[in-house]
Structure 1
Amino acid sequence: MEVGVAAEHGPVGIRLVRAKDARVLQDHLMANRSWLRRWEATSPDGPVSLDMRLGIRRLLQQYRDGSGVPFVMEYDGRVAGQLNVWGIARGSLASATIGYWVAKEFAGRDITPTSVAMATDICFTQLRLHRMEICIRPENHASLRVVQKLGFRYEGLRRRYIHIDGDWRDHYAFALVREEVPQGVLARWVAGQAPRHAADIPEGDRLPD
């Protein structure tokens, strides 16, 4: 897959993950276990390896196969976390899903919404995808703020959707299609034009934290 897989806005940048990122990403994961464990994907078949070198090799293979784009998020040139575009579907669907994590020391600096906006713009313009989705656990207020800021639309409740932190968890689904953001997701947000209530969850779908 040939795509421009880097973007910057102020101190925040995203780029394709590299093998040499394994050490700093592994250090972040180990130092942030209590911060990240609640939100990490697990497997119903047993423990998942936290070997970052192996994980990066698999992610880069998915990139070569055209099924994903693995980014690192940076702040002032320092690796702050990961953002993965995964499940890329071509043809009549032309869609993908975004997942991410950021180390606690970098939280609260708009790194994640800026990175999500840039990655979505890359997917719409460079990859020519039509729809981008983000699925978030009801308890994950920080991630919910990301889609609220960027104006992703709420699309529905998915019961027991993804295996997270040892069990099947409910998720809220949010999405954007290319026609909604002709000026780009990042430009729309920076201009203060993201719809304020697009990510609002209907009363009937709200779950307890």
Structure 2
Amino acid sequence: MSIPTLRDGSVTIRPIRVRDARALERELLANRSWLRQWEATNPGGPIGFDAKGSIRSLLAHARTGSGVPFVIEYAGEFAGQLNVSGMSYGSLSSASIGYWVAERFAGNSVTPTAVALATDHVFFGLGLHRMEICIRPENAASLRVVEKLGFRYEGLRRRFIHINGDWRDHFCFALTVEEIPQGVLRRWKDGRVPAGAGVVPEADRRAAATPQR
């Protein structure tokens, strides 16, 4: 699968390359405390991180058409990663997005721009129908991203993904292509995101704050 380079202002998403391994390792190390609480972990115990191996795995998924791995850049600097994964076609035609951005780039609309660019590519470039984003209830910054872009809230998933050493609840959001014929990025930039689209109901916030027994 050919992976495009997409830009809006100072934000670029481009195909990840094996030679990005050094920059990837450097940013992950520098942002360890910033990212640790949101990192996926192995329930079977810790495993080592191999940046080149991770990138090769992402590129292998791209070759099979099941993922689209991007580097996020801000003003030409390596700023983070965005991965479209779980891509399926036919009657489902769906995918999901995960991402991280280095702390020093926070507050520059880097993440919402990158997510909008990637979602528009998946909808209008690859022809998929639905995009999903799942976010931990404690991740206020990511919750602001889906609210800005108007991803529709779909529900609370209990103990959904193993994050930072335990199974964590997630709020899930989605968009379908029919909801945004003008594109995610254009709708956001034009100020036409429906009010309340990405807001989590208070009942689900309370439920997520109550540990399951």
- Give TM-score, length-normalised by structure 1: 0.97
Structure 2 unaligned runs (5+)? none
How big is the shift at 1:48? 3.2
How big is the shift at 1:126? 1.1
Question: 1:35 and 2:34 equivalent?
Answer: yes
Show the counterpart of 1:18.
Answer: 17
Identity of matched residues, %: 62
Query: 1:27-86 deviations in whole A, cap 9, x for unaligned?
Result: 000111100000000111121332111100000000001110000100011110000000
* Paired residues, number: 208
Aligned 1:50-129 pairs, distance under 5 A: 50-129=49-128
Question: 1:208 and 2:187 equivalent?
Answer: no
The range that moved more, 114-123 or 5-14, is 5-14
Query: 1:75-118 deviations in whole A, cap 9, x for unaligned?
Result: 01111000000000111000000000001111111000000000
Contact 1:151 1:198 in 2 (8 A): yes
Show the counterpart of 1:134.
Answer: 133
Provide the rounded CA distance (Å) in 2 between the counterparts of 1:48 and 1:189: 39
- Give TM-score, length-normalised by structure 2: 0.95
Structure 1 unaligned runs (5+)? none
How big is the shift at 1:134? 0.2
Contact 1:149 1:196 in 2 (8 A): no
The 4+ residue runs of structure 1 with deviation greater than 4 A are: none
The 3-state SS of whatever aligns with 1:91 is coil
Show the counterpart of 2:181.
Answer: 182
The range that moved more, 111-120 or 40-49, is 40-49
Backbone CA RMSD of aligned residues: 1.1
Provide the rounded CA distance (Å) in 1 between the counterparts of 2:28 and 2:8: 25
Provide the rounded CA distance (Å) in 2 between the counterparts of 1:181 and 1:6: 22
Q: Output the amino acid matched with 1:208.
A: A
Q: Output the amino acid matched with 2:155.
A: G
